[in-house]
């Protein structure tokens, strides 16, 4: 497990300082490989002991061990890219992402989500770009189980207010869950469930149900792997209905 994956695994337990350090590292992991403990601590605006506690919480004895693994990871990715082996890097990242998802999508967690979906007589789903495919997949799989589900285009979200009832559910698949889709989704009647990878904090408290899937890159919106995980999530979830 590389340093970025370790950070994602422990993210739920981060302190405020940990989150600040995490954000700076994820902005440009390769830049961190050249920084000493004091340099990174100063960049993050935290103390060196705070930085030491952060890396120890990830399982490293000291910052130098964390940086050494980060250097190795960046070097491997660079080598693969230079050799025209981007596809190998893709599969490597996908493998690690699936491992992270396995830790989250336990049988108990999926069972609870399935129970949540069962209370709604009708389910609508939407997304933008590649994320829209998860909405369409949900419609197909739900209807195989004789349950009402309808995929709705992003452009048609405003029209949902005309025929969506208060006991209906709208599922939004969006990597970042930003204003480009959430402003429209939250105007609809009924409940809203957001499935995202790195959701916009402005909307996380406004939805009725939030599912945050793991991501590896600092910009999961541009990561082709994230939408793949949405499809996997839908496949697993429907199996529990």
Q: What is the DSSP code string of 45-60?
A: T--HHHHHHHHHHTT-
pLDDT score for 214: 81
pLDDT score for 54: 94
Q: In the structure, what pLDDT confidence band is assigned to residue 89 with cuts at 50, 70 and 90? A: low
Q: 60-69, pLDDT tens digit by residue? A: 999 999 999 8
Q: In the structure, what pLDDT confidence band is assigned to residue 213 with cuts at 50, 70 and 90? A: confident
CB within 8 A of 14, min separation 6: which ones?
A: 22
Distances (CA, A) of 241 to 104, 109, 172: 18, 13, 19
Residue 144 has, within 13 A of its CA and on its CB side, a CA count of 9
Look at phi and psi of residue 187 and say left if phi exceeds 0, alpha if psi is from -120 to 50, else beta: alpha
Q: What is the mean pLDDT of the chain?
A: 86
Q: In the structure, what pLDDT confidence band is assigned to residue 8 with cuts at 50, 70 and 90? A: confident
| Fold exhibited by the domain 107-239 | Rossmann fold (3.40.50)
pLDDT score for 88: 58
Delimit the domains of the chain by residue range. 3-84, 107-239
Q: In the structure, what pLDDT confidence band is assigned to residue 51 with cuts at 50, 70 and 90? A: very high
pLDDT score for 138: 96
pLDDT of 4 above 80: yes
Q: 122-131, pLDDT tens digit by residue? A: 999 999 888 8
Q: In the structure, what pLDDT confidence band is assigned to residue 217 with cuts at 50, 70 and 90? A: low
pLDDT of 186 above 60: yes
Q: In the structure, what pLDDT confidence band is assigned to residue 155 with cuts at 50, 70 and 90? A: confident
Question: Which of the following CATH numbers is that of domain 3-84: 1.10.510.10, 3.50.50.60, 3.10.270.10, 1.10.10.10?
Answer: 1.10.10.10
């Amino acid at each position: 497990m590389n340093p970025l994956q370790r950070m994602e695994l422990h993210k739920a337990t981060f302190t405020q300082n940990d989150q600040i350090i995490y954000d700076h590292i994820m902005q440009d992991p390769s830049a961190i490989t050249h920084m000493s403990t004091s340099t990174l601590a100063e960049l993050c605006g935290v103390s060196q002991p705070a930085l030491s506690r952060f890396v120890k919480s990830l399982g490293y004895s000291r910052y130098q061990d964390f940086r050494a693994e980060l250097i190795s990871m960046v070097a491997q990715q660079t080598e693969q890219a230079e050799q025209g082996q981007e596809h190998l890097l893709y599969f490597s990242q996908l493998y690690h992402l699936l491992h992270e998802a396995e830790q989250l999508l336990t049988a108990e967690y999926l069972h609870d989500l399935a129970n949540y979906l069962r209370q709604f007589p009708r389910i609508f789903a939407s997304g933008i770009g590649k994320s829209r495919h998860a909405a369409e997949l949900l419609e197909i799989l739900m209807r195989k189980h004789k349950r009402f589900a309808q995929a709705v285009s992003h452009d048609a979200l405003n029209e949902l207010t005309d025929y969506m009832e208060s006991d209906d559910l709208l599922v939004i698949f969006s990597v970042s869950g930003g204003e480009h889709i959430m402003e429209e989704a939250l105007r609809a009647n009924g409940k809203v469930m957001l499935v995202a990878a790195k959701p916009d904090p402005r909307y996380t408290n406004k939805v009725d149900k939030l599912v945050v899937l793991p991501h590896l890159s600092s910009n999961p919106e541009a990561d082709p792997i994230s939408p793949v995980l949405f499809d996997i999530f839908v496949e697993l979830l429907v199996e529990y209905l």
